[in-house]
Structure 1
Amino acid sequence: MIWGVKTPKASGEPAALIDSGARFIPALRAFFSRRAPAADVEDLVQEVLLRIQKRQPAPAVNNVEGYLFEVAANVLIDRGRRDRTRRRSDHCELQETHHPVDEMSPERVLQGREQVARVMAALNALPERTRRVFILVRFEEMSYKLVAQRLGVSVSAVEKHVMKALRHLHERLRDQDDVDNVGARETRRPG
């Protein structure tokens, strides 16, 4: 009987081994509680008992307690291997604090549209070739080499056009942010 549920015994398997396993549940819990997170202890104990139950008929076990803790140690080793393979330590729980709901308020939508309009205006202010190179590299995700071949220019020229576009966009958007911040401060001043 494991966890209060009767289990069928394999033919030839000593009933004493299964009964002894159930008798050692508190000791197994203590063993796992020192070596694994508290949330995993019951699962690990259950895994030990399942492995004992699935054991193929074999010679009788003389040292039941030693055998149980050897199985328990192997369960821990196997769990560690699975965790490393699945990179369990890299996972995180999906909690509201880590992933807050992003509400799309009308104000937020308007701000997004204004930002897109500023970026488009800054892009349209670029020289035609620079804008075309930038769009192919950043939006179409083409390599510098492929853009150079398509436009019949050197890779170095493509790099220069991209840098020129980035510099231009940075300056234009930074200037616009400065204007927005000054305007916001002036509207907040008591008059």
Structure 2
Amino acid sequence: MAVSLDRTKKRDAEALCIGYNDSLRKLYDGCFDSLVGYLRAHFRSCPHQAEEIAHNAFERMAAHKKPGTVDNIRAFLWRTARNMALSDLRSRRVAQRYLIESRQALGQEDDHSLTPERILSGKEQVAIAVSCLRAMPEQRRRAFILTRIEGLSHAEASETLGVSRPAVSKHVARAAADIYAALGEDTPNPEERDG
């Protein structure tokens, strides 16, 4: 047997939903950037992870069955994002530990000890890469430095450089290919590169 609401109760229920959605939209507009900044600062999340966690926290809040039961919606949002970031951090640690243990079990331990030969080789490679970067066209060099060294996303780099995101991607790909060629190495597959 279906329960029907009289018109007044139905109108009140609709007003509550509209009011909650509007306040959630205002909260999103007003707090998203500061929430992302909080996640970056306190959990050292990369920009993409911090944005993803913040979006997920807002989604969880929007899906909350009884929004009226939350006294401080902003505190609830921050707590939700904090818990999600901690969970993400734990899962990355577990994955890293698994990778290390599986390599050890298979006898594939990497020897990362610093020997004079490795240090000299590393210095030579850095000098070649720097020389290659200096010889590049300015836009290509700046796009590469912003994304690969300073850690900006391609979207952020496109805003900084005043070019489209695909243009940034092309500049970065060409710069990486130039550097790999200068180092005498094969260019990695696109799946192996992080974008």
TM range (shorter): 0.3 to 0.5
TM-score, structure 2 as length reference: 0.39
TM-score, structure 1 as length reference: 0.39
1 or 2, which has the higher helix percentage?
2
